[in-house]
Amino acid sequence: MQRERNLELPHYHAPAWLPGGHAQTLYPALFLWQRLTRYRREGWVTPDLDSIVVDWVDGRAGTPIVVLFHGLEGGSKSHYSLSIAQYFYPRGYRFVVPHFRSCGNVSNRLPRAYHAGDSNEIDWILRRIRDRNPESPLYAVGVSLGGNALAKWLGEQGESAGELISAAVVVCAPLDLTACGNMLDVGVNRHIYTREFLRTLKRKTLLKLKMTDNPYIDRDRVKRARTLREFDDLVTAPLHGFKGVEHYWDSASAKPLLRHIAVPTLLINSKNDPFIPAHSLPGPDDVSQWVSLLQPREGGHVGFVGGAPPGRLNWLPDVMWRFFQHYAPLPR
């Protein structure tokens, strides 16, 4: 079954008091923190005997579950996670954020961490949730880095993805990692976003090197890294089996796989996202008939603030909810 075309989703219009992609990105991340959602945390052992932490918003058995894969250095306390949780829970959904390795304020056991193309991680997590909740409709959300990993998994799995999930939403994903990495490493982006990402990435890496020497990683060069390209070449690539940053960015990008997606999937990208050049966004010819593209002119990177000051974060979870409702499985 191809995607149905009669689904109308609300358009996003940025408020006049919050102009520009940088403001629309930074304001919600810094100032629109929702009241803290009460999560229940679980610790999971991975198939390779590593560890991750998983945060749940519980509900009745058998109710639908939204699984959110977070962005670079994000987690269950990110502004988007909290806004989605607080929108879906009153509507009868459970919500879960599986943290990538080393995230969630808990260090993992193995030298490896996580990366933008880790579709194997997406696979075993979704299978574990499905196995534990066989009667529940399952929906997947991927944000930024987690969105690329989810989209890559969807493309690799094809029709098999439908055995695990009913639909997926991918938000502000860097589907062309080379284009996005290059954009983050220049100008104001490098001094605002990349510097903040590297602050925590480098700290985690150096702490792990204190505990376990790694002959593939040069501690002094990690300390001096000032761009994502440098960090990914020094750390992410060798830790996860890539030959270097070019091999990593090329191999992990989900854009070439979008034509193979075979479950209802919504790709949301704003055209003024400071992380993602508009020319790199997928067009209709880049995706399968199962994929819907929603590309508002504004919104920033996972911003989408609405309403009068101080603003609300309702548009994104409302679009997700409408999309999931539209593709909800029929009652048995």
What residues act catalytically?
Answer: 144, 273, 301
| Three-state secondary-structure class, residue 277 | coil
From its phi and psi, is residue 228 left (phi > 0), alpha (psi between -120 and 50) or beta? alpha
**Which H or E run includes 177?**
helix 177-184
The Cα 110–Cα 323 span in angstroms is: 38
Cα angle, residue 154 at apex, residues 299 and 272 outer, rounded to 5°: 15
From its phi and psi, is residue 195 left (phi > 0), alpha (psi between -120 and 50) or beta? alpha
> Is the preceding peptide bond at 238 cis, omega within 30 degrees of 0?
no
Burial of 66 (0-12, 13-18, 19+ CB in 10 A): buried
